A = this chain, B = another copy of it.
């Protein structure tokens, strides 16, 4: 096998130097282009009329030296023809269509490299905070169209901004790959998500095939193509498949585990023979939803905290520098772990009295810890973490641990047997695995096994743009997946209660955590 890595983008440009027609060669213009492509190994290209019409002019203006763009989702399809050699200008847009945040990355398809990145709050948020409220919103007349239009508009905004950053025209973007959960994919395509959240929980479609840019309402090359990552039923979306793809766990003999912490948390466990996916509502506290000063990982968010064990004074870092506005998920885990480690917080999540540190203050009849005094914060307000916040965080981490514990036990696998423990999600890029172990959110296994994937949803979408064979790989992953409903049984609930302690009521499960 050759080690040469071939660049096989979703849309490929081919520079063709064709011989001009003559009385001895009356091949039609389109067939001439097709023959040129065939010589490059591209057979039987479909040619939409909108592209075919420009072929005669471009061929003759360029002296029959042209660059043609061919889309490779399903049958090869002609997406454009330009005079001369423009193979160096070929762009794709990867989109992570999150419930809360939409991230776009402009990819140079001639190299596979990322050119520019940007994100936007999903404007659907104003019509519904989460997936369920948005599905409900579709019951309004025109609701689905309104949600669709907002997603499309948001992506168009990102496309225009990224094109401007890169000094290209948005029309030079030949393709787009979109990764999101099942509901987001449906809303983006205008497919009714009604049955996604209603028994028997059936999506309209799992695989979306090749979609035209114009058909999808996107302001890129109107003949460009859109690939939406497939989903596997109502609860396993393309974002999860992207995570698996990026982790590579589906290609290894050893069993690994992947946790994708977004607005919801999905857990994947498996290897090259099988993949099991479970979903749980573990995430909100870590995405800034239910914590007073919680916020998403973005500029102004504290992402890391350490507390001096002697003075109980914190040191922290802020994403993007400058004054702090709030605490993102990784900072919350750090805080919980540090407060517990230095002894300001007990295993039940209760603060030691103010005598121990002036930073611990009474708050709404309970206690709180001042992370940033008002004089140092961006808002002028104290940034604090309260016992109520901590209760929520402990509930979140306990839910996560319980799910991990139940799933592995049912499969007869111990945590120690896991080859790797992948953490995906934007949040996952900042997490300190050691701290997550300290609070008993994830199991006490060697820290080297923890692998942070970052926003694997967009990384996966980029991978597809740069390598079209990944679409088949995603189909293969989809076919391997079994979805498991978490039974919130009596057993689960008693385990959950036992996990509502730092790190756990059964300290033998966390031998490495000292307190």
The minimal Cβ–Cβ distance linking A215 to chain B, given in whole angstroms, is 6
Whose C-beta in chain B lies nearest to the C-beta of A211? B49
Residue A27 lies at the interface, judged by CB distance under 8 Å to chain B: yes
Copies of this chain present: 2
Classify chain A: how many residues form its interface, as a range. Answer: 35 or more
Please state if B192 and A47 are interface contacts (CB–CB under 8 Å). Answer: no
Please state if B22 and A200 are interface contacts (CB–CB under 8 Å). Answer: yes
8 contacts between A and B (CB under 8 A): A25-B200, A26-B233, A46-B74, A48-B215, A49-B211, A52-B189, A52-B205, A53-B190
Residue A216 lies at the interface, judged by CB distance under 8 Å to chain B: yes
On chain B, the residues within 8 Å of A23 by CB distance are 199-201
- Interface residues as binary, A167-198 with B (CB distance below 8 Å gives 1, 0 otherwise): 00000000000000000000001111011000
On chain B, the residues within 8 Å of A210 by CB distance are 46
Residue A203 lies at the interface, judged by CB distance under 8 Å to chain B: yes
A interface secondary structure, majority: loop
The minimal Cβ–Cβ distance linking A33 to chain B, given in whole angstroms, is 10
Please state if B204 and A29 are interface contacts (CB–CB under 8 Å). Answer: yes
Docked complex Cα distance between A299 and B94 (Å):
63
Interface residues of A in 75-101 (CB under 8 A from B): 75
Please state if A52 and B204 are interface contacts (CB–CB under 8 Å). Answer: yes
Interface residues of A in 1-56 (CB under 8 A from B): 21-23, 25-31, 46-50, 52-53, 55-56
Please state if A204 and B55 are interface contacts (CB–CB under 8 Å). Answer: yes
Docked complex Cα distance between A27 and B478 (Å):
13
Residue A476 lies at the interface, judged by CB distance under 8 Å to chain B: no
On chain B, the residues within 8 Å of A211 by CB distance are 49
Residue A446 lies at the interface, judged by CB distance under 8 Å to chain B: no
Whose C-beta in chain B lies nearest to the C-beta of A182? B28
On chain B, the residues within 8 Å of A497 by CB distance are none
> Which of B26, B50, B205 is in CB contact (< 8 Å) with A29?
B205
Docked complex Cα distance between A216 and B27 (Å):
24
On chain B, the residues within 8 Å of A48 by CB distance are 215
- Interface residues as binary, A207-221 with B (CB distance below 8 Å gives 1, 0 otherwise): 101110001100000
On chain B, the residues within 8 Å of A202 by CB distance are 21, 26-29
Residue A124 lies at the interface, judged by CB distance under 8 Å to chain B: no
